[in-house]
């Protein structure tokens, strides 16, 4: 596939400097850059108006413009295109002011080297792309905020509304968000029928950081009283101080009226109990259906590699064991055919159990499929999934995170590349050497789970892959079992078990490991969901 060239506009009136930049870009660009030059501000503005520029290299002193005014004029005309300043002066004050004004970098001409120019260009474009994506995400979720059918709010600890959406204004009977925020200047006194409810709300926030289904009676604009339920969380700054509360409001007036009627009539109560049992039956049926759907999301047949060969001829063989502790679980894995000789292997473990965790696994599966274009780069894939997942989950007001590990096996280069987001480190069994290696980052540092921090960047590590090698991925439920004297089955014991069964093929190895762990637990069931996945390279590799 042809790679689109990067269009660079060099605004420079010194021919020697133009030649220097052209030579530098030619050395490191590999034909990726198209360079246009302009010697005057007027020419530069004409070129920027065409909208065909990806990056600007700018000398501040031109025949018709000088100093930071030159940058400000170009920056405004560039409309989001990154601008790197090239200056003959090593002036720290000017450099700082330029960066504060929006410049991506400030390079001194007599210190330029081809690698420095290339690095500055790459970093500038990456930052510009990140800003563009952040703006798109902000616009996307602002749309969700504005169009949600549930009331959404942010309030100060002192009791003033900082932000509300149109749905909340409608629930409270106001014609606009502005009217609501201006009329209710003291939430405790002007909103709640019982002014002590605000104090109780704040007390729960200070003790727990969240409130769930916080039911209260409130006054609408016309003086009528309705019931609401609030789900909210406290947002704290770096020092731990609460800056504001944010959450969602549901009008539960009809539900509360129904509850009152039920308390007044035994017959109505009996009917409600019958209805509740019916709903429980439906829920059980729904959970069974959800379990069937979740199992169907797991690979039913593994792809063969290279793509197109018969399964028995595949150079990569896969196996797995999936044991949820409830109707539905929070563990998930998938095998992705990325190219004829490239396989992707993804595993994750969502915090908690039940429907919520299962829904997040479905969300992760969708994200992995949506981002398949970047799936050949493990670190980039986890970085993007983390950003998208956090943007989605932070709207719920409930903390939730997911550990994940993703690797790509390249049969042509005989390497695996991988990235880890807080997940138990997999094992790489080198049968040829009789060794078990832990797949970790070169610096030995762990990276946080997905959904915790918005700007986490996950690096990519690599290891060679030889014929007969086997990669073993697992979730922490595999070794979080207790044996005699409440002793836990440790990861070290798991590694020793792998060494002990090193000669077994993938499927036999998985069975042997589960049997050894169950024997250790003396018949006790696993306490957490278990997902165990093996990928074995053929001896023919």
Lowest mean pLDDT among 81-95, 132-146, 327-341, 392-406: 132-146
146 pLDDT above the threshold of 80: no
- Region 416-428: mean pLDDT is 95
User: Which of the listed ranges 76-80, 223-227, 431-435 does the model predict with the highest average pLDDT?
Assistant: 223-227
DSSP for 368-396, written as a single string = HHHTGGGTTSHHHHHHHHHHHHHHHHTTT
Strands (E), 324-368: 331-339, 342-350
269 pLDDT above the threshold of 70: no
Pairing of strands 55-59, 6-11: parallel
Q: Are 32 and 3 in contact (CB under 8 A)?
A: yes
Top pLDDT among 278 and 216 is at: 216
344 pLDDT above the threshold of 50: yes
pLDDT of residue 526: 78
pLDDT tens-digit series, residues 346-378 = 999 988 766 777 788 888 888 888 998 999 999
Instruction: Give me 514's structure tokens.
Output: 């589960």
- Region 113-121: mean pLDDT is 85
pLDDT of residue 227: 95
Lowest mean pLDDT among 126-140, 199-213, 359-373, 475-489: 126-140
Q: Are 9 and 44 in contact (CB under 8 A)?
A: yes
Q: Are 502 and 431 in contact (CB under 8 A)?
A: yes
121 pLDDT above the threshold of 90: no
Q: Tell me the β-bridge partners of 236.
A: 242
Split at pLDDT 50, 70, 90, the class of 527 is confident
141 pLDDT above the threshold of 70: no
Dist. CA 319–CA 302, nearest whole Å: 8
Percent of the chain with pLDDT over 70: 91
Lowest mean pLDDT among 253-267, 274-288, 498-512, 513-527: 274-288
Q: How far is CA 268 from CA 257, 261, 272, in A?
A: 13, 8, 6
DSSP state of 502: T
- Region 438-462: mean pLDDT is 92
3-class state of residue 232 by DSSP: strand
pLDDT of residue 394: 78
Q: What's the CA dihedral at 132, 138, 141, 147 to 10 degrees? A: -110
46 pLDDT above the threshold of 80: yes
Instruction: Give me 420's structure tokens.
Output: 């880890």
- Region 37-62: mean pLDDT is 90
Split at pLDDT 50, 70, 90, the class of 289 is low
Lowest mean pLDDT among 349-353, 388-392, 400-404, 437-441: 349-353
Cβ count within 10 A of residue 391: 17
Dist. CA 466–CA 459, nearest whole Å: 23
Instruction: Give me 124's structure tokens.
Output: 């500038």
282 pLDDT above the threshold of 70: no
96 φ/ψ angles, rounded to the nearest 5 degrees: -65, -45
**CA-based Rg of the chain, rounded to a whole angstrom?**
30
3-class state of residue 258 by DSSP: helix
Contacts of residue 494, Cβ cutoff 8 Å, sequence gap at least 6: 427, 474, 478, 479, 513, 517
Instruction: Give me 30's structure tokens.
Output: 């590999």
Q: Are 101 and 80 in contact (CB under 8 A)?
A: no
67 pLDDT above the threshold of 70: yes
pLDDT of residue 2: 47
| For residue 306, cis peptide bond before it (omega within 30 degrees of 0) | yes
Dist. CA 394–CA 43, nearest whole Å: 46
Strands (E), 156-209: 161-164
pLDDT of residue 193: 94
pLDDT tens-digit series, residues 291-309 = 666 666 788 899 999 998 9
Going by C-alpha positions, the residue among 420, 506, 519 that lies closest to residue 463 is 420
3-class state of residue 282 by DSSP: helix
Split at pLDDT 50, 70, 90, the class of 391 is confident
Split at pLDDT 50, 70, 90, the class of 1 is very low
Contacts of residue 527, Cβ cutoff 8 Å, sequence gap at least 6: 325, 477, 480, 481, 482
- Region 472-491: mean pLDDT is 84
Mean pLDDT of the chain: 87
- Region 270-292: mean pLDDT is 66
Task: Give CB contacts under 8 A, 24+ apart, made by 175-180.
Answer: none
């Amino acid at each position: 596939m042809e790679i689109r060239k990067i269009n660079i506009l060099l605004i420079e009136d010194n021919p020697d400097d133009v030649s220097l930049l052209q030579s530098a870009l030619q050395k490191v660009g590999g034909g990726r850059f198209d360079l246009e030059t302009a010697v005057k501000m007027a020419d530069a503005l004409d070129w920027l108006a065409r909208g065909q520029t990806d990056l600007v290299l700018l000398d501040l002193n031109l025949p018709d413009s000088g100093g930071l005014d030159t940058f400000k004029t170009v920056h405004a005309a560039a409309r989001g295109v990154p601008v790197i300043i090239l200056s003959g002066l090593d002036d720290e004050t000017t450099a700082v002011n330029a960066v504060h004004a929006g410049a991506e970098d400030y390079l001194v001409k007599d210190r330029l080297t081809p690698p420095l120019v290339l690095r500055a260009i790459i970093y500038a474009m990456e930052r510009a792309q990140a800003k563009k994506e952040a703006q798109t995400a902000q616009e996307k979720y602002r749309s969700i905020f504005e169009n949600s059918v549930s009331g959404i709010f942010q309030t100060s600890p002192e009791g003033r509304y900082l932000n509300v959406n149109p749905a909340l204004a409608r629930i409270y009977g106001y014609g606009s968000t502005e009217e609501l925020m201006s009329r209710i200047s003291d939430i405790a006194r002007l909103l709640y029928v019982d002014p002590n409810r605000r104090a109780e709300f704040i007390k729960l926030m200070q003790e727990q950081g969240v409130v769930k289904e916080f039911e209260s009676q409130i006054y609408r604009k016309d003086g009528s009283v309705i019931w609401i339920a609030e789900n909210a969380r406290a947002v704290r700054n770096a020092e731990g101080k609460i800056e504001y509360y944010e959450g969602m409001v549901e009008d539960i007036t009809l539900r509360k009226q129904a509850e009152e009627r039920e308390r007044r009539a035994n017959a109505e109560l009996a009917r409600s109990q019958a209805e509740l049992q019916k709903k429980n039956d439906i829920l059980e049926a729904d959970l069974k259906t959800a379990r069937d759907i979740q199992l169907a999301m797991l690979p039913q047949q593994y792809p063969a590699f290279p793509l197109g060969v018969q399964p028995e001829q595949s150079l990569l063989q896969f196996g797995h064991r999936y044991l949820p502790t409830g109707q539905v679980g929070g563990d998930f894995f998938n095998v992705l055919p990325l190219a004829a000789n490239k396989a992707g292997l993804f595993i994750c473990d969502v915090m908690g159990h039940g429907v919520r965790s299962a829904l997040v696994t479905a969300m992760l599966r969708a994200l992995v499929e949506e981002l398949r274009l970047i799936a050949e780069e493990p670190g980039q894939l986890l970085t993007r999934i983390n950003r998208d997942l956090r943007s989605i989950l932070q709207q719920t007001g409930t903390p939730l995170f997911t550990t994940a590990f993703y690797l790509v096996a390249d049969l042509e280069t005989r390497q695996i590349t991988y990235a880890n987001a807080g997940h138990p480190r997999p094992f790489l069994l080198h049968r040829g050497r009789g060794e078990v290696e832990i797949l970790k980052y070169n610096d030995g540092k762990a990276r946080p789970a997905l959904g915790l921090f918005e700007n986490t960047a996950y690096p990519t590590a690599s290891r060679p892959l030889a014929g007969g090698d086997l990669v073993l991925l697992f979730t922490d439920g595999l070794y979080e079992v207790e044996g005699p004297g409440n002793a836990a089955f440790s990861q070290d014991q798991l590694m020793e078990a792998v060494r002990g069964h090193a000669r077994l093929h993938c499927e036999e190895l998985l069975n042997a490991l589960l049997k050894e762990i169950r024997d250790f637990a003396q018949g006790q069931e696993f306490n957490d969901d278990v997902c165990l996945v093996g990928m074995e390279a053929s001896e023919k590799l």
